[in-house]
Amino acid sequence: MKLRTTLLLLLVAMATQAIYADDIIKVCGQNVQNFFYSLDRGRTTGNSIPKSNYTTEEGRNAKLNAITDALCFYRADIYAFNEVECCEESLELLASSMSIKTGQEYLPVADGLSYDKSESADGLIKSGFIYNTATIEPVGDNLSTAYGYNNIYPAQMRMQTFKSKATGECFTLSMNHFKASTSADPSYDINQREGNSIALLKGLNQAVLDPDILIMGDLNTTMGELCLNNLEHAGYEEQILKRDPYATSHWYYDEGYLIDHVFANTTMAAQVVDAHIEYVANPHSTGSKQTAYSDHDPYVVTLNLQAQPTPSYSYTKVTTLTPGTSYLIAAPISGLQIAQPVAIDKNYEYQPAVTVTDNDGAITLSDNKMAYYIEEDGNGNYYIKDYYGRYLYQQGTYKNTNVGSKSYADASDCKFSITSQPDGTFKILNTTTNYYYYANIYNSAQQFSWCNWANLGNNQYLPWLYQYNPTAPSAITTVGIATEPVTTRKVLSNGRLTIVTPNGRHYTLQGTNITTTN
């Protein structure tokens, strides 16, 4: 029996390896729950996990060793952390300990972040990276993706481009920590996370060194909430649930949820070989609070880096509206133009137009940042949202376009009726103000704005809509999907979820060993 099992594992490993190319990069992420270098901060007291509470070097070392003992097994090329103290020393300790336990040199990615301890008795946290110097190197600066924020989130939402030393292939990794559900008013937290996602999508415009983007982190919510919808509508795909719909990373009392996520854009998703949770850290995975070292389990992402061509996004001219998808808004102002989104540093403007080409009823672009997602409001009208997750609205007699969160659009009573016209155009009407969307030339500038005129004049046009066509041919090369055969996993067996460890032992979600022997 033992020989047969060994042969089976070898065959699985060989099959997995056959799918891989030469440039395999592993990324491990985790919220490690308040790992602090300082010994006198409030965030290392009162935590639900005993190992996260310490005021001595001995306690800090116990926490450090628990983290690296668990994570060194994966031999990741990059480790990305949430909730480490906002100082150099926290990542230095993690890198040093990981180096000792793996026999490989790890270094922290310099981010220049610190805080005035005299002003924060609790201490401040950040997101950060350490990397294996033999296999990978950071390229460019470590940057905040919390566009528009001045405190808290600039340290917790970070991005870094990395380059593989084997092939020179690059990708950008963004590690994020969205607002937790800690407020008395749940809608406040939801709105804050919506703002986090908008800031993130804006901040990722800084990823100019390589188009492949991996978004990870403790996003503090499950799929279906607006903040994660924004990422999906911008073209990012969740990678863990793609492979394991039962995955969980954090528990609220006796309910497990996946609130730590991995998202990849189109070119990056083609290079993701595996993404899964490792059930090794929180009390439900280890069996007790005493053996846990965090309230979140880690996750491991395996990449097979391959050069990807520039993607193509194709949009087809339509005469009927299908809500729940993305559109280009176009008009023949001078040639053919489409509406650009309001600039990311503005809340309103007359929307500029950019010239494009229609080939047999289709427009093809190299990115999807000009597209607008149209969704139903449940009452026969529609919302319109731009690539960054900002909802369009128009107020009073103003002719410019405003953008903001969904709550801003709701507060402005800005729901649109969208009606197809006999000539193939669409009338997008604010049902509150009776202003409608049109394209025009003003002071020689081609733009899209709003009016309430009975009739349009010369060089004034109702828009056409071009619907995103996800089935259009693409030059992107998918490397294939495989799973690692020797990792701790959660599996559904006989109608219940169990934890299966690399050595074949089976546990309940509460940590009880239920392994059967033959």
> How many structural domains comprise the chain?
2
My answer on whether 185 and 106 are in the same domain is yes
CATH classification at residue 113? 3.60.10.10
Task: Please report whether residue 499 resides in a domain.
Answer: no
Residue-level pLDDT at 307: 84
pLDDT for res 54: 98
Q: What is the pLDDT of residue 504?
A: 52
Same domain, yes or no: 216 and 108: yes
Tell me whether residue 9 is in a domain: no
Does residue 517 fall inside a structural domain? Answer: no
Q: How far apart are CA 387 and CA 160, in angstroms?
A: 22
* Residue 390 φ/ψ, nearest 5 degrees: -90, 135
Same domain assignment for residues 329 and 275: no
Give the containing element (helix H, strand E) for 261. strand 260-264
Q: State the pLDDT confidence band at 8, using cuts at 50, 70 and 90.
A: very low
Distances in whole angstroms, Cα of residue 264 to Cα of each of 30, 148, 267, 305: 17, 23, 8, 13
| Final residue belonging to a domain, choices 441, 468, 495 | 468
The verdict on residue 342 lying in a domain is yes
Same domain, 272 and 379: no
The pLDDT value recorded for residue 488 is: 60
Are residue 431 and residue 321 in the same domain, yes or no? yes
pLDDT for position 473:
45
Regarding whether 348 and 238 lie in a shared domain, the answer is no
| Residue 250 in domain | yes
- State the average pLDDT over residues 17-24: 57
- Assigned domain for 498 exists: no
pLDDT at 492 over 60: no
Residues 57 and 194 placed together within one structural domain of the fold: yes
Contact between 216 and 264 (Cβ < 8 Å): no
Quick check: helix, strand or coil at residue 84? strand
pLDDT band at 512 (very low <50, low <70, confident <90, very high): low
Q: Are residues 84 and 146 in the same domain?
A: yes
Which residue has better confidence, 479 or 111? 111
144: in domain = yes
Residue 505 has pLDDT above 70, yes or no: no
| Residue 102 CB coordination number (10 Å) | 17
Domain boundaries, position 143? 20-309+477-487
Terminal Cα distance for the chain, rounded: 9
**CA separation for the pair 469, 478 (Å, rounded):** 19
Q: State the average pLDDT for the chain.
A: 89
Residues 280 and 421 placed together within one structural domain of the fold:
no
Question: 344 and 303 in one domain?
Answer: no
37 occurs within a structural domain? yes
Residue 411 has a pLDDT of 82
Read off the CATH number of the domain in which 443 is found: 2.80.10.50
User: Would you say 24 and 304 are in contact if contact means Cβ atoms under 8 Å apart?
Assistant: yes
Q: Is the pTM of this model over 0.85?
A: yes
DSSP code string of 308-351: -PPP-EEEEEESS--SSEEEEEEE-SSS-EEEPPPPTT-SEEPE
For the chain, the residue count is 518
Task: Give 401-422 pLDDT, tens digit per residue.
Answer: 999 999 888 887 778 999 999 9
- Do 301 and 321 belong together in one domain? no
Do 225 and 317 lie in one domain? The reply is: no
Confidence check: pLDDT of 32 > 80? yes
